[in-house]
Amino acid sequence: MNKNKITRLIYAVITTTVLAFSLVIVAPTTTNASELFTDVKEGDYYYNAVLNLAANDYVTGFPDNTYKPNKSITRGQLAVILAGLLELDTENVVNPKFTDVSTSHPYYGAIAAIQNAGYVNGFEDGTYGVGKPITRYHMALILASAFDLSASNVNDLPFTDVYPGYKDTVAALYENNVTAGRTATTFDGSAYVTRGQMAVFLVKAIEATYPHLEVIEIKNDKVITTTGEYTFDESLSNIFSAENSQALANSNMIVNVAGSNIKGISVLVLNNGGTIDNPLVFNGGDLEVYGEVYVNADYIKIQNLTIYGDLILTENVTDQLEIVDVYLGGEIYYESEEEPNIIISYTE
C-alpha cells in the first residue's frame, strides 16, 4: 500500500491572493456541516473534521440526515473509513476468516484489507467484533500502525492510567498531537470512541503524518521550516541539496514524515522565481511527487521530475516556465488570463 496516496485528502488549494493548504480534495459543495448533518453544528469540537471527511465521502451519515457524533463507532465502521482513507484494495484480499465476517458481509473487503495490511487483528475467539464499539486503546493500536506513528520518549506520557501493553501506541498518539487524553493525567483507554471523536483522531493522524511545511532554507543537511528542523531520507538528498537551496527557500510542501524525518514529498509549491536571462532552476533529481506541483512565480526551470498529479501555474506565472524531462500523470493548468510560454523538452 502506498501511503502517499492519502494526499487525496491534503491537496493544496491556491486562492487568487493567498496560498493556503486545506484538508479537502476539492472545495466541498457546502461549507457548512449543518447542511450535511442536522446534528453537527459550528463550534462543535469535531465540526471541521466531520465536514472534511464527509465532503470527500470518507464518512456518511444516517437516513434521517444526522451524523450521530456522540454515538460509538463500531470496529466495522472504522474499517470501512480507514480502508477508504488509505485507498486499500478491498477486492483482492486474503480472507482473514473471522467467524463473524462472512465473504458476503458488506464490510468484508474493508476488514480483510486492513487486516492484510497489518493494522488490526481479531479477538482470541476468532471474531473480528464487527459490530462492537471500538475502545480508545484499540483505536490507538490501529491508528499508530496505519499512520506509522511512534513516540521518541514513551516515558514522557503524562497519563497514569495506561496499561503497559498499550503505552507505546498511546504515547505515539499523544506525542503527535492526535490525542490529548480525557484529562491531563488520564487516557481512559477502555472507554468507547464516538463518531465525532474518531473524525478528529483521523484528521489529526493525517496532519501528523503529512504535515504542511513552510520552508525557510536548506542548511547543513537539514530542512529548516517555520515549525522546526527536519532531516530527510538519503533518497531525497538530490532534492534537498545546495543546488536547489534557492528554489526551495520560501517554498511550501506537504510531506510524508516519520517523526522529524522527511520520507517523501506529496505536494510542492515553488514560490521563488528568476529572470528572463537567469531562470531559477529546480532539479528534481528524478523525484516522484504524488500530488500536485504548483509554480507560483515566473521564470522557473523545472527538470528531472515525475508528477503523478497536475502541474498548476498560478496567476503569478504570466511569462515563461520551462520544463525539461518532467513526466506528468495529470495535466498542466494555468490561472493567468493569457497562456504563459511553456517550454517543454526531453533529452531522451
Q: What is the pLDDT of residues 149-186, one digit of tens each?
A: 999 889 889 999 999 999 999 999 999 999 999 999 99
Strands 252-258, 212-219: pairing is antiparallel
pLDDT in tens, 56-81: 788 888 999 999 999 999 999 999 99
Residue 30 clears pLDDT 60, i.e. is over it = no
Helix ranges restricted to H, the chain: 33-36, 47-55, 75-85, 108-116, 136-146, 167-175, 195-209, 245-248
Q: What is the mean pLDDT of residues 266-273?
A: 93
Domain ranges of the chain: 3-73+133-209, 212-345
Tally DSSP H helices, then E strands, for the chain: 8, 14
CB 49 within 8 A of CB 40: no
Closest CA relative to residue 313, chosen from 265, 255, 273, 275 = 273
**pLDDT at position 34, please?**
62
What pLDDT shows up at residue 270?
Answer: 95
